[in-house]
Amino acid sequence: MTGEAGPARGRWGLFLTAGVAAVIIALDQVTKAAIVATIGPDADRNVIWVMPPVLRFLYVRNTGVAFGAFQGAGEILILLAVGVVLLLAVAFWRMIRESPWLSLALGLQFGGAIGNIIDRLRYGYVVDFIDVPNFPTFNVADSAITVGVILLGIYLLRTELATAPQSPIEPPQAGVSGSDEGGSGSARPPSG
């Protein structure tokens, strides 16, 4: 019976990763389509205030990477994004099957990366629209990638801490070389 539970659990990890990615891609593309239709280049207005003056939707063409860095890199960014998605998939293939947290983290990253790749292939740029003061404009895909990277970091840190050899810290013992009653911490021969 345990032999059957392992593969079934592994398949659910893959389904979770793919399901999360699909939800992010759909949410990203639907929100971008709504933004293009509502405040895009051919729309009657150019901004939607959600929570003035803290949050607004503003149509932005991003030819760079997340949060507007490396503007104008175009085709190179498509290849880089596809490469990162493939690298993550290969690197974490077996672990996805073991951990729902890792499945969630990678699903968020895959979905976000693919959502932005779709924009680059369709428009030649990424549609960004979430605008807050003193921060680059971003989108749902960027948010998913960021949250996925944070979850991946937490997962890797927790895994590393859980598998690190535990060495108990022993309190200093009275009368052991290296400690004296004066508290200086240096071992001195008795004077006499």
Which residues have a catalytic role annotated?
Answer: 128, 142
Largest CA distance in the chain: 96
β-sheet bridge partners, residue 138: 130
Q: Is the dihedral of CA 140, 146, 150, 153 positive or negative?
A: positive
- What are the CB-based long-range contacts (under 8 Å, 24+) for 133-138? 133/53, 133/54, 135/67, 136/67, 136/68, 137/58, 137/60, 137/62, 137/68, 138/66, 138/67
Q: Which amino acid is at 37?
A: A
Is residue 139 within 8 Å of residue 64, measured between CB atoms? Answer: no
